[in-house]
Amino acid sequence: MEAQSLAVKRAEVEFHNFASLGEPERAMRVYAEENVRRGAVLRNHLAFIGSLSPFLEIGANVGHTSYMLANEFGADGFALDISADSLRYGLALKEQWNLARGPVRVAGDAVKLPFRDGSLRMVLAFQMLSQFMNIESVFLEVKRVLAPGGVFLFAEEPLKRLLTLRLYRCPYWETMKPWERRLYRWGLLGYLVRDVIGAHQEESFGIRQNHTMGLKEWHALVEKHFAAHEYEVFVPERGWGERVVKRLAVRWDRYRSEWGAARLLGGTLAAVCRKAGEAPAMEERIGRFESYLRCPDCGGNMRLDAAEALECTACGYRAPNEGGVYNLLPSADKSELYPGDRADTIDFSLPGHAARLIEGWYELEGAFGNKYRWIGAEASARLERVKPVPQRLRIRGFAHEKSFEQGVPVCVEAWTNGVRAGRWTLDRPGLFVLETDLPDADEYRLRVAAFPVWRAAEDERLFSVNLSMIRLVPRE
């Protein structure tokens, strides 16, 4: 089974770029809360873990947990994410938190880690394994890069819930409808939804999530690949609807543990897993960090050249230092996931995007990867096909609460070269991603229309939705 398709990787790059620090104040608060939880897990298992250096965090996002490891725990290591942009934004977090030390930041793929065999003492993964359809492929890579006796810590991974009707995917609290919020407060919403509350947002981006893993499946995978382990489970207690069931499940458990409750209500798992073998003596401080890396194309050794770029000594693969981040994705993936300022992409976070806009766009707004432009009733733009393959249109945007105050859903239409390509109805505020197949053409004149329109206080302009990315992608 394929771990992730290229379309899912593309969605992850876009999502992390958009969500990492798109709302800086909210993001900083969430990252601080996550570090409190994750720091507690680490401290609970320090005796089992032993040395933390050199570490690698995969799926690190902006690297906030890696910064915690470097500063609170004094560890040396690497933060890796498929999104080079989110890792770059981590510098803002470092400055805001006034941190002295940081990890080496590397963009890469968790199923093709650009690290040498047996080069690391510890690998960490938080809330990211469920984004792989074949989770075992990540385990195999982690095992490869760990030294004998090394430790793999993964946490905040969802547990499959038995007590649910699995009716639909539910969004985060901010975009829930009033009746959903009421059921959530009572602890009843989890009995209706298909998977983890909030998964809807990632799914809407095109990120596929694996919610098939219960305690039994996780345990089987851990025992297959690691010699020893320690676990923690965290079972929710949202309102009386979950609190009552959890207490009954604990009472009926012969050991008075929460394992039975975790099977019924889901929750999350933290696991600390040790690789077989005797741990060798390893440096506690990273000196020449390139000595831990290997070429993502051919597996050759990497060296730093005079321009501080990483270069493969065997095949010539090159990764420049871009804002403190080295992009070590395989060449084929890098060219597709990071197209740059290209004629088939309108990325509002890149300054060159304005050249492809025609009319109907208001001024640029937003922060970091969440740059966008509002439109009124309609706006137009131009895209050119750069690859001779069938194309698909992908539009990312946001529908404001005011759009729904008139009591009707929001409608978005896209027209290309005078022909309607798609029509979508949005039933709740928040982020949206729209996709539709396009007929063959070398150039697409795009018109996006949205209604109803509304006015903000003390502003005469008409608004409908805002858009943050429009691009052509190959059909899959």
Quote the tokens at residue 222: 């851990």
Residue 71 confidence (pLDDT):
97
Collect all residues with Cβ–Cβ distance below 8 Å to 181 and sequence separation of at least 6.
173
The per-residue DSSP string of 30-41 comes to: HHHHHHHHHHHH
Half-sphere exposure (Cβ direction) of 216: Cα atoms closer than 13 Å? 7
Q: Which residues of 70-104 are buried (b: 16+ CB within 10 A; e: fewer)?
A: bbeeebbbbbbbbbbbbbbbbbbbbeeeebeebbb
Say if CB 231 and CB 157 are below 8 A apart. Answer: no
Q: From first to last of the 476 residues of the chain, give the pLDDT tens digit.
A: 788 999 999 999 999 988 898 889 999 999 999 999 999 999 999 999 999 999 999 999 999 999 999 999 999 999 999 999 999 999 999 999 999 999 999 999 999 999 999 999 999 999 999 999 999 999 999 999 999 999 999 999 999 999 999 999 888 898 899 999 999 999 999 999 998 888 888 888 899 999 999 999 999 999 999 999 999 999 999 999 999 999 999 999 988 999 999 999 999 999 999 999 998 888 778 889 999 999 999 999 999 999 999 999 999 999 999 999 999 999 999 988 998 889 999 999 998 999 999 999 999 999 888 999 999 999 999 999 998 999 999 999 999 999 999 999 999 999 999 999 999 999 999 999 999 999 999 999 999 999 999 999 888 999 999 999 999 999 87
Nearest-angstrom CA–CA distance, 306 and 303: 10
Which one-letter amino acid corresponds to residue 216? K
- Please, what is the angle between helix 64-71 and helix 24-44, to 10°? 50
Residue 279 confidence (pLDDT):
85
State the CATH architecture for 345-474: Sandwich (2.60)
Phi-psi category of residue 59: left, alpha or beta, with phi > 0 → left and psi -120 to 50 → alpha: left
Listed in order, the ranges of the chain carrying CATH 2.60.120.200 are 345-474
Which one-letter amino acid corresponds to residue 317? Y
Nearest-angstrom CA–CA distance, 88 and 106: 10
Quote the tokens at residue 162: 């038995």
The maximal CA–CA distance of the chain, rounded, in angstroms, is: 71
Q: Which residues of 19-34 are buried (b: 16+ CB within 10 A; e: fewer)?
A: bbbbebeebbeebeeb
Q: Which helix (H) or strand (E) holds 391?
A: strand 391-399
Is domain 6-274 annotated with CATH 3.30.750.24? no
User: Taking the model in full, what pTM does it have?
Assistant: 0.93
Nearest-angstrom CA–CA distance, 63 and 79: 6
DSSP classification of residue 448: E
Residue 333 confidence (pLDDT):
95
Helices (H) and strands (E) in the chain, counts: 12, 21
Say if CB 125 and CB 253 are below 8 A apart. Answer: no
Nearest-angstrom CA–CA distance, 344 and 429: 28
**How buried is residue 220: exposed, middle or buried, by Cβ count under 10 Å (0-12/13-18/19+)?**
exposed
CB atoms within 10 A of CB 109: 23
Listed in order, the ranges of the chain carrying CATH 3.40.50.150 are 6-274
- Any idea which residue has 């077989």 for tokens? 276
Say if CB 215 and CB 129 are below 8 A apart. Answer: no
CB atoms within 10 A of CB 240: 12
231, β-bridge pairs: 271
Collect all residues with Cβ–Cβ distance below 8 Å to 178 and sequence separation of at least 6.
none
Which one-letter amino acid corresponds to residue 319? A
Quote the tokens at residue 223: 């025992």
